[in-house]
């Protein structure tokens, strides 16, 4: 039951995953699965993907030893700098892989859902590079929260469709993308943005972003001569987390920590912590942990981070949770923003608010790890993205959007 052999052929991770989709999509999923199986073992495809990652996306990303942050947290903190990738997040790995796959399947059009706009921007980027038509569905609420990313997508030639159904956020954008796909499968690849959804998406996305963990593991061996004690990542749909976890799953000495968006706190009900604050159910094509009410209706999620504001999670995380291989904990908006500020001030790195959840969680586990190991723990934190897109949210949160002359020198330091 070691993780690398999962999912099984029908896409299950234990009882999670699978395909809970309209029959109309089964053929497209089967075709995608078949195309992926051949691409996986095709040296030409792998060479193309590798070339784009290396020469276009700027990976392998650095594994950076954050000295000042380490000193503050009392642990050796290594940051996996996915924020330095082209488009500013881990997401570029997934979109390049899937866009190449779309080309290979002869599909001239890709559609995508986006929350923060990061996956939308990444999709629009890959579509421009590989000459594909691109339509991005985005909840209307998010198009307002992330107006700059809407402009970016348009600059790259994508069409952005604001979704006005339901809660007007990521989950509704995903519904709308699925509806588009039901009607357009012949010409269209659904470029799903996270390691969730129906089989084979969780597996494909995991594999395309899996370089994060493969690189980080090797970088640890090269730089430290050993493996880290723990790996920490934020969990929205779960792609950056599974991307960094996967290579470490067989390494039993390495503890895996996923940090979900705790919003105002899980107890308040205003959060996006599907595993720690939800229950088993079916959403968007897979059985997994879901935020739902007593009747199985999806409950709206809440997070300061648009990229984590999703009421479900990829099925492999549900499985890693139930088997105990990975630990999942919620991190509140306030904890994440404190970590956000700490990284800015100690390392001169403005992280994505999503990634700040991983930092806050890493800071929290230090004392227990130190006690357990009897020494300073080494923790790899996946810095999944950069914070440029979040400057407005963070600026408002910290109250620093006022005109410059009204700022008192020394304030906020």
Partner 1 sequence: MSIAEIFAKARAEERALLIGCMPAGFPTVDDSIESMIAMHEAGCDVIEVELPYSDPVMDGPVIQKASDIALGRGVRTRDTLRIIEAVAGAGATVVLMTYWNPIEKYGVNAFARDLAAAGATGMITPDLIPDEAAEWIAASDEHRIDRTFLVSPSSTDERIAMTVAQCRGFVYATALMGVTGARTSVSSQAPDLVERVRHANPDMPVGVGLGVGNGAQAAEVAGFADGVIVGSALIRCVLDAPDRATGLSRLRALSAELAEGVRNPAK
Ligand X SMILES: Cc1ncc(COP(=O)(O)O)c(C=O)c1O
Q: Which among 213-221, 251-259, 295-303, 376-384 is the span making contact with partner 1, rule CB under 8 A?
A: 295-303
Report what 274 binds from partner 1, ligand X, none; CB cut-off 5-8 Å by kind: none
Give, as one character, the DSSP assignment of residue 32: H
| Residue 278 binds ligand X, judged by CB under 6 A | no
Q: Which of residues 25-84 bind partner 1 (CB under 8 A)?
A: 25-28
Taking the C-alpha atoms of residue 88 and residue 117, their distance in angstroms, rounded to an integer, is 12
Q: Which of residues 383-402 bind ligand X (CB under 6 A)?
A: 384-385
In 3-state terms, the chain is what percent helix, strand and coil (to 5)? 50, 20, 30
Report what 351 binds from partner 1, ligand X, none; CB cut-off 5-8 Å by kind: none
Report what 240 binds from ligand X, partner 1, none; CB cut-off 5-8 Å by kind: ligand X
Determine whether 384 is an active site residue: yes
**Nearest distance from residue 115's CB to partner 1, in Å?**
15
Taking the C-alpha atoms of residue 6 and residue 273, their distance in angstroms, rounded to an integer, is 24
- DSSP annotation string for 51-99: HHIIIII-PSPPEEE-HHHHHHHTSEEEEEEGGGSGGGBTHHHHHHHHH
Give, as one character, the DSSP assignment of residue 386: B
Taking the C-alpha atoms of residue 38 and residue 110, their distance in angstroms, rounded to an integer, is 20
Q: Which is it for strands 76-81 and 63-65: parallel, antiparallel or unpaired?
A: antiparallel
**Catalytic-role residue among 80, 91, 171, 389:** 91
| Run of H or E residues at 390 | none
Count Cβ neighbours within 10 Å for each residue of 20-56 and write b for 16 or more, e otherwise.
bbeeebeebbeebbebbeebeeeeebeebbeebbeee
- Site track 178-207 with ligand X (rule: CB under 6 A), x = hit: ----------------x-------------
Q: How many residues bind ligand X (CB under 6 A)?
A: 21
| Residue 315 binds ligand X, judged by CB under 6 A | no
| Residue 168 binds partner 1, judged by CB under 8 A | no
Determine whether 50 is an active site residue: no
| Residue 323 binds partner 1, judged by CB under 8 A | no
Taking the C-alpha atoms of residue 352 and residue 326, their distance in angstroms, rounded to an integer, is 23
**Catalytic-role residue among 76, 82, 113, 316:** 113
Using CB under 8 A, which of 21, 39, 170, 352 touches partner 1?
Answer: 21
| Residue 318 binds partner 1, judged by CB under 8 A | no
Angle of the 26-40 helix axis to the 43-52 helix axis, nearest 10: 90
Task: Check if the beta carbon of residue 356 is closer than 8 Å to that of residue 340.
Answer: yes
Q: Which among 15-23, 51-59, 254-262, 332-340 is the span making contact with partner 1, rule CB under 8 A?
A: 15-23
Report what 19 binds from partner 1, ligand X, none; CB cut-off 5-8 Å by kind: partner 1
Per the structure block, which two tokens stand in for 300?
């709206």
**Nearest distance from residue 260's CB to ligand X, in Å?**
9
| Run of H or E residues at 229 | none
Determine whether 113 is an active site residue: yes
**Catalytic-role residue among 303, 355, 384, 389:** 384
Using CB under 8 A, which of 178, 192, 232, 362 touches partner 1?
Answer: 178
Q: Which of residues 229-268 bind partner 1 (CB under 8 A)?
A: none
Taking the C-alpha atoms of residue 151 and residue 118, their distance in angstroms, rounded to an integer, is 12
| Residue 294 binds partner 1, judged by CB under 8 A | yes
Taking the C-alpha atoms of residue 76 and residue 152, their distance in angstroms, rounded to an integer, is 36
Of 277 and 385, nearer to ligand X (C-beta) is: 385
Max CA separation in the chain (angstroms): 62
Contact set with partner 1 (CB under 8 A)? 10, 18-28, 165-166, 171-172, 175, 178-179, 182-186, 281-285, 287, 290, 292, 294-298
Contact set with ligand X (CB under 6 A)? 89, 115-116, 118-119, 194, 234-241, 307-308, 352, 354-355, 384-385
By annotation, the residues acting in catalysis are: 91, 113, 384
């Amino acid at each position: 039951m070691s993780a690398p052999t999962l999912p099984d052929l029908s896409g299950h991770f234990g009882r999670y995953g699978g395909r809970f989709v309209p029959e109309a999509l089964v053929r497209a999923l089967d075709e995608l699965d078949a195309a992926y199986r051949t691409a996986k073992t095709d040296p030409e495809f792998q060479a193309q993907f590798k070339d784009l990652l290396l020469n276009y996306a700027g990976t392998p990303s650095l594994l950076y030893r954050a000295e000042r942050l380490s000193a503050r947290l009392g642990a050796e903190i290594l940051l996996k700098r996915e924020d330095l990738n082209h488009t500013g997040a881990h997401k570029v790995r997934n979109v390049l892989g899937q866009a190449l796959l779309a080309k290979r399947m002869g599909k001239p059009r890709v559609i995508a859902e986006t929350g923060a706009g990061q996956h939308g921007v990444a999709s629009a980027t890959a579509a421009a590079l590989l000459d594909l038509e691109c339509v991005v569905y985005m909840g209307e609420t998010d198009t307002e929260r992330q107006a700059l990313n809407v402009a970016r997508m348009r600059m790259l030639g994508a069409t952005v469709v604001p979704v006005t159904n339901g809660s007007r956020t990521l989950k509704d954008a995903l519904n709308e993308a699925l509806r588009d796909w039901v009607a357009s499968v012949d010409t269209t690849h659904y470029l799903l943005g996270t390691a969730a959804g129906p089989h084979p998406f969780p597996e494909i996305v995991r594999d395309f972003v899996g370089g994060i963990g493969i690189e980080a593991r090797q970088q640890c061996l090269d730089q430290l001569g050993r493996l880290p004690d723990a790996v920490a990542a934020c969990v929205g749909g779960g792609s950056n987390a599974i991307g960094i976890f996967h290579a470490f799953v067989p390494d039993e000495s390495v503890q895996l920590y996923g940090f979900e968006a705790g919003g105002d706190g899980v107890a308040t009900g205003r959060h996006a912590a599907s595993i720690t604050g939800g229950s088993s159910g079916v959403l968007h094509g897979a059985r997994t942990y879901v935020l739902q009410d007593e009747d199985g209706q999806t409950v709206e999620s809440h997070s300061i981070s648009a990229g984590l504001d999703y009421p479900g999670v990829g099925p492999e995380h549900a499985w890693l949770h139930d088997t105990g291989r990975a630990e999942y904990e919620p991190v509140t908006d306030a904890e994440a923003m404190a970590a956000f500020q700490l990284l800015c001030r100690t390392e001169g790195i403005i992280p994505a608010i999503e990634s700040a959840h991983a930092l806050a969680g890493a800071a929290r586990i230090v004392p227990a790890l130190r006690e357990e190991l009897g020494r300073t723990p080494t923790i790899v934190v996946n810095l999944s993205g950069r914070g440029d897109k979040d400057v407005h949210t963070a600026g408002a949160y910290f109250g620093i959007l006022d005109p410059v002359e009204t700022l008192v020198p020394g304030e906020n330091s």
